[in-house]
Structure 1
Amino acid sequence: MEAKRCIDSLAVKNSHVLPPDTNSHGTLFGGRLMAYIDDVAAIAATRHCRKAVVTASTDSVDFLEPVYEGNAICLEAFVTWTHKTSMEIFVKAITENLMTGERKVCTTAFLSMVAVDENNKPTPVPSVVPESEEEKWLHAGAAKRHERRKERRKESKELAEKFGTGLPW
């Protein structure tokens, strides 16, 4: 399988923040932004491997700045690292005041996507080649983030086993 450049997976999504997208504070619902993040990450992952993908995890979604009604939001995503069947995708969201042109990074996130075959079984993905300074920096830290994901997943499984499907009381 031939390696692919990070830039080849770049996906960009723009949206105008309208009243139905906002909460009682006049800012974008966090859940709506998380859905946008998952969507653009899935597009980037699919572009990289040209296979169906599923979301395996979201490391974090850090809300750095509010996104107000009337603003535009632009999300950029690309594959930063791959393992055997999984891909790490970095997502950056930028809010723009359309009246003033002021732009701010409002959110960053890392997601893991797994490529699946026609039987929904994990399938190998191509490796990724970072080229820019930023891509190399993200790639260099990816193995460490991967190990943290594995540990967090183990803890999540322990919680699921402990609490099961019934009510705890």
Structure 2
Amino acid sequence: MRFHTRKWVKPEDLNANGTLFGGKLLAWIDEEAALYSIIQLENSKVVTKYMSEINFMSSARQGDIVEIGIDVVKFGKSSLVLKSEVRNKMTRETIITVENIIMVNLGEHGRPLPHGKTKIEYVRDRLAEEND
């Protein structure tokens, strides 16, 4: 799993128990999945269709640093299926796993649009192709 983003847990991210609010964490995961999909599919019109069961395993406290990992499960015709893991950098514990996040590539009129992608592409490879 590639961990792309780190977040610093601040007071506004906490629940009444003084730990990281689950809704905030899910928003971070959703944003990371969207950014990853936009880059992979080369289209800024990507939406979240589905997020599978989530499994909270531990938490984080104010001042902790968490990192968000994303991996591709598969490429669909107009979708990208991802999985995510978030871990606490301070305690080294997994906070949450999400096994399936389905992101849908949209066309001009907001309808699913085939993306033609079949494998992970890296920006450095795209830049190298452009310079050839």
**Runs of 4+ with >2 A deviation:** none
Residue identity matched to 2:34: A
Please name the residue that 2:123 is paired with: none
1:17–1:72 Cα contact (<8 Å) kept: yes
For the Cα contact (< 8 Å) 1:45–1:78, is it kept in 2? no
Matches within 5 A, 1:40-55: 40-51=32-43, 52-55=45-48
For residues 57 and 3 of structure 2, the distance between their equivalents in structure 1, rounded to whole angstroms, comes to 21
Number of aligned residue pairs: give it.
117
Give the CA deviation at 1:69.
1.5
Give % identity. 26
Q: Is the 8 A contact 1:45 1:79 kept in 2?
A: no
Find the aligned partners of 1:24 and 1:96 in 2 and give their Cα distance: 22
TM-score by length of structure 2 reads 0.81
Larger Rg: 1
Alpha carbons 2:3, 2:67 under 8 Å: kept: no
Gaps of 5+ in 1: 1-6, 130-169
Give yes or no for contact 1:34–1:61 (8 Å, CA) kept in 2: no
Cα offset, 1:11, TM superposition: 6.5
Q: Counterpart of 2:127?
A: none
CA deviations on 1:28-62 (whole Å, 9 max, x unpaired) are 10000000010001111112111120000001221
User: Any gaps of 5 or more consecutive residues in structure 2?
Assistant: 121-132
Is the Cα–Cα contact under 8 Å of residues 53 and 113 in structure 1 kept in the other structure? Answer: yes
Tell me which of 107, 115, 127 is aligned to 2:105. 115
In 2, the alpha carbon distance for the partners of 1:40 and 1:21 equals: 17
Q: TM-score, normalised by structure 1?
A: 0.64
Aligned-residue RMSD, C-alpha:
1.7
CA deviation map 1:104-150 (0-9, x unaligned): 11111121000001211111121126xxxxxxxxxxxxxxxxxxxxx
Matched, 1:77 2:70: yes
